[in-house]
Amino acid sequence: MKIESLHLIDYRNIENMDIEFAPGVNLLYGNNAQGKTNILEAIYMCAAGRSLRTHISKELIRFSRESAHIQLIADKGMYKDKINIHIRKNNKKGIAINNVHVKSINELFGTVNIILFSPEDLMLVKEGPSCRRRYMDMELCQLSRIYADNLSRYYRLLKERNTLLKEEKADNVTLDVYDSQLVDYGIKIIEERQRFINEIDIKSNLIHSDITKGRESLEVRYIPDVNINNYEKRMRESREKDIIYRSTSTGIHRDDISFDINGFNAREYGSQGQQRTICLSLKLAEVEFVKEKTGYSPVLLLDDVLSELDRSRQLYILNSIKNIQTVITSTGIDDIVENIDDDIKILYVSEGKIEEK
Ligand SMILES: Nc1ncnc2c1ncn2[C@@H]1O[C@H](COP(=O)(O)OP(=O)(O)O)[C@@H](O)[C@H]1O
Ligand SMILES: [Mg+2]
C-alpha cells in the first residue's frame, strides 16, 4: 500500500497544501515548529480516525478558521481509496471513504495502514503500561475491525460500570450483567493480543539479535492482567474492592508487555541504549507482521526519530526501509541523504508551506 497524495486545508498551521508522495523515501525537513509533524499527524488521522497528540479535534483547525479538511488517496495496487475527513469546531468529524460517509471510526481501520515511530515510542519499554497497550491496540485495530469493535465495546462497558460504581448505583444483579459482557469481550481481546505478541516475540528477537550482532537475545511476553480461565472468577473476587474504590480493578485495561534481554528484565535493568534497540526491533517487527497479514507493506512514518538514535541504529533503519514507503521528518538532511541509495523525495517545510527540493 502506498500513499499517493495528501491534501490539507486549514489543518493546524497549514492553510492549503498538496503533497504527492514518492513510492520510496519521502523526507520532510525544516526547522522546528514549521508543520512537519502536523503533516504526519494528518496521515495518522486517516489511519486511526483520531490524532496522536490530542483528543480535542477542534485543536486541529487552523486558528480563527471554522473547519479543517484532510484528503488522502491511498494506492492499493489494483484500486485506490480516497479518504476525506472534515473537522468542525463543535469537535464533530465527518469521515468518508470513496465519497461514502462512514458512521464509526472503526470503519476507517485498514484503509490506510501506517506504522508511526516517534521519539515517544522510544519510551515504550520505560514508560507506564498504557503505551504498551496502545502499541498492541493500534496495530490490531488497523488489521481487524472485529478487534476494534470488541475493544470499543469493552471500553464503553467499562466506562458505564465505573460510572455505576462512582454513583453508588451498583447492585449485584447489574454488576453480574456487566461482568459477563466484559469477560466475553475481554477474552476475545486477550486471544488476539496473545497471538500478536507471540509473533512479535519471534520477529523482534531476530531483528534485535541482528542489530546487536548476536550479543543480545530479546524475549517479548504478553502479561495479561487476568487469564482466560480465571477471568470470571477474578472479576467476582475483586468486586468488593471495586465497590470500595469505585473503579474496575481487573481486566484487559490492565494488561502489559514485558521485555527480557538475555534473561533479565529490560525495563528494570536495561540501559537506555538497550531499551531503544528493543523499541526499534518492535517497530520493525510490526512492519514484518503487517506484511505477512495483509500481503503488502504498511507506510512507515518516522517522526524525528533518527536524530535520537546512534549512527549504527540509524543505518539499520535506513537499510530496513527498502521497498517500504516511508515519510521521515528531520531538521537536517545530510545524514539521511548520504545513507540512502534509492531515490528520495526531498520536501522542505517552512511556516506551513511545502516546497520540493
Ligand atoms: N490549530 C493550529 N492553528 C495554527 N497553528 C497551529 C495549530 N496547532 C499547532 N500550530 C502550529 O504548528 C506548529 C507546530 O508544527 P509541528 O508540525 O509540530 O512542527 P515541526 O515542524 O517541528 O514538526 C507550531 O508553530 C504551532 O504553533
Ligand atoms: Mg515535529
Cell of 29: 525537513
Mean pLDDT confidence for 133-153: 95
Which residue has 528477537 as its cell numbers? 205
pLDDT (tens digit per residue) in 245-300 = 999 999 999 999 999 999 999 999 999 999 999 999 999 999 999 999 999 999 99
Ligand lying closest to the C-alpha of residue 58: 1
C-alpha 12 – ligand 1 centre gap (Å): 6
Instruction: State which H helix or E strand residue 192 sits in.
Output: helix 172-211
Task: Evaluate if residue 219 carries a pLDDT over 80.
Answer: yes
Asked if residue 146 has its Cβ within 6 Å of ligand 1, the reply is no
Residue 59 Cα: closest atom of ligand 1: 1
Identical topology for domains 1-113+296-357 and 126-294: no
The Cβ of residue 48 has, within 10 Å, a number of other Cβ atoms equal to 19
Asked if residue 13 has its Cβ within 6 Å of ligand 1, the reply is yes
Asked if residue 12 has its Cβ within 6 Å of ligand 1, the reply is yes
Task: Evaluate if residue 214 carries a pLDDT over 80.
Answer: yes
CATH number corresponding to 1-113+296-357: 3.40.50.300
Ligand lying closest to the C-alpha of residue 30: 1
pTM tops 0.85: yes
C-alpha 42 – ligand 1 centre gap (Å): 12
Where b means 16+ CB within 10 Å and e means fewer, 217-241 reads ebebebebbbeeeebbebbeebbee
CB 112 within 8 A of CB 121: no
Taking Cα atoms as reference points, which of 294, 303, 295, 355 lies closest to residue 326? 303
CB 25 within 8 A of CB 301: no
Residue 65 Cα: closest atom of ligand 1: 3
Q: Where are the alpha helices (DSSP H) in 33-171?
A: 36-48, 129-143, 145-166
Check whether domain 126-294 has CATH 1.10.20.10, yes or no: no
The structural domains of the chain, with segments of one domain joined by +, span 1-113+296-357, 126-294
Q: Give the Å distances, CA to CA, from 227 to 183, 207, 242.
A: 10, 29, 19
In whole angstroms, give the CA distance from residue 275 to residue 348: 32
CB 284 within 8 A of CB 297: no
In whole angstroms, give the CA distance from residue 165 to residue 183: 18
C-alpha 158 – ligand 2 centre gap (Å): 34
Task: Evaluate if residue 342 carries a pLDDT over 80.
Answer: no
Asked if residue 33 has its Cβ within 6 Å of ligand 1, the reply is yes
Q: Whose CA is nearest to atom 7 of ligand 1?
A: 12
Asked if residue 260 has its Cβ within 6 Å of ligand 1, the reply is no
